[in-house]
Amino acid sequence: MSRSGKPFLVVNPKSYLYGKKSLELALETDKVAADTGLAIYYTCPYADIRMIRENTKHVIVCAQSMDPLVPGRGMGHVLPESLKEAGADALFLNHAENPKTVTDLYKTILRAKELDMITIVCADSVVEAKAVSCMDPDIVLAEPTDLIGTGQVADDSYTIETCKAIAQVNPDVLVMIASGVSTAEDCYNVVKLGADGTGATSGILNAPSPAVRVREMAEAILRAWRERN
């Protein structure tokens, strides 16, 4: 898949939602993607990928990770071809809750390219974000690990510095700033400051209406993008 569209939103329930509940939010997110035209990624557990893909038309279905193996041996690992055939067009890699070695990360990015899958690769510092950018993923998610799930967004200088640093290393890589992002205002601010996209977990799931929060975030991202450009 060619470089992903921008701006974008990642709806990331992690493993808090699965099965029917995951599908319910995916369907609502699909409506938002259709109404706004925004590129929206929806992550789900491996076992739910096919169900989400077969019941949505507009979201980009995103796997939570992947391993660099090829068909054959590899009992218990996540086979890239299996994810692709199930309907995943994107994947997270190197999240703080499931980190990879440098060797495996690079090999997995290469395998994703072979299968035309979008890669969102996590980094917990500006230095790591620059290093990851050299591996040529589609998106670098730069987020201080200690802010994940706290509702506290990284300060403006972090967003500005990170966006500039990644652009200097690899201008083709899109930048996602997300740790602590909880509200539509947070989404607006990080995109206005230079990020290509953002996303959330607790900020969406803990909202009075997760579906409404997704719509608010999508509209805020688009507003910031229009004003910035």
Q: What is the residue whose two structure tokens read 């403006």? A: 156
User: How long a stretch of residues is the chain?
Assistant: 229
Given 143, 185, 216, 219, the catalytic residue: 143
95 is catalytic: yes
Given 28, 58, 95, 161, the catalytic residue: 95
Residue from 106, 161, 168, 160 nearest 137 by CA: 106
Distances (CA, A) of 78 to 31, 82, 83, 214: 30, 8, 8, 29
- The Cα 186–Cα 177 span in angstroms is 10
- The Cα 141–Cα 226 span in angstroms is 22
Which residues are identified as catalytic? 95, 143
